[in-house]
Amino acid sequence: MNNIDIAELVPHSGKMSLLHKVLDYDEKSLCAQVVVRQDGLFDQGQEVPAWLGIEYMAQTIAAFTGVEDRLAGRPVRSGFLLGTRRYESDRPYFRVGEVLTIRVIKLMQDQALAVFACTLSGESMQASAKLNVYQPPATTQEQL
C-alpha cells in the first residue's frame, strides 16, 4: 500500500499536499506518514504549530476515502472537514524534519457524513482528535 502516490488519493497539490506516504490501510482505518517540512507556508523557523496536526489528520482521512474510491473503481472525490472535537497535543509545535505517523479510524458513517478518531505520534509526542467530515455522494457524471 505504501507505493501509492499520495497525489492519486488526496485532491491537494503543491505546498498544500502535506502527506508523505501511506503506510497501511484496511476497511476501517489508514495510517500515513508526514515529514514536517520547512517551506514557508506553515513553518516558523524550525517549527510548525501543532494545530497543523488537524490538517495532517484531515488529509489522512482524504487518503482513506481516496483508497476506498480507487478500490471501488470510482474517481477520487473531494470531501470537507466539518469540525474537530477535542484536539489535544502534548506540545505546541512539531519540529522541521520530524517524522509523524497519523492513524485515522472510521467510527461511524451515515450516508455522506462520517466521524473519525485520529491520532498523531512522533518522537516523544502525541496528539489526538475526532474529526467530522462530509463527502458528497458521487454525481451521475462521476459514476460514468
Provide the whole-model pTM.
0.91
Instruction: Provide the sign of the torsion angle of the four alpha carbons 74, 80, 81, 82, taken in this order.
Output: negative
Whether pLDDT at 142 is above 60 = no
Instruction: List the domain range (segments joined by +) for residue 83.
Output: 6-143
- In this prediction, residue 144 carries a pLDDT of 42
* 116 vs 16: which has the higher pLDDT: 116
CATH code of 43's domain: 3.10.129.10
pLDDT digits (tens, 9 = 90+) for 24-36: 999 999 999 999 9
Residue 1 lies in a domain: no
Instruction: Tell me 44's DSSP state.
Output: S
Q: Which of the pair, 136 or 40, is modelled with greater confidence?
A: 136
Residues 6+ apart with CB under 8 A from 71: none
pLDDT of residue 3: 67
| Residue 138 Cα to chain centre, angstroms | 20
Spatial distance between the Cα atoms of 126 and 133, rounded to a whole number of angstroms? 22
The Cα–Cα gap between 95 and 43 comes to 9
Per the structure, how many domains does the chain have? Answer: 1
Flag whether 77 is in a domain: yes
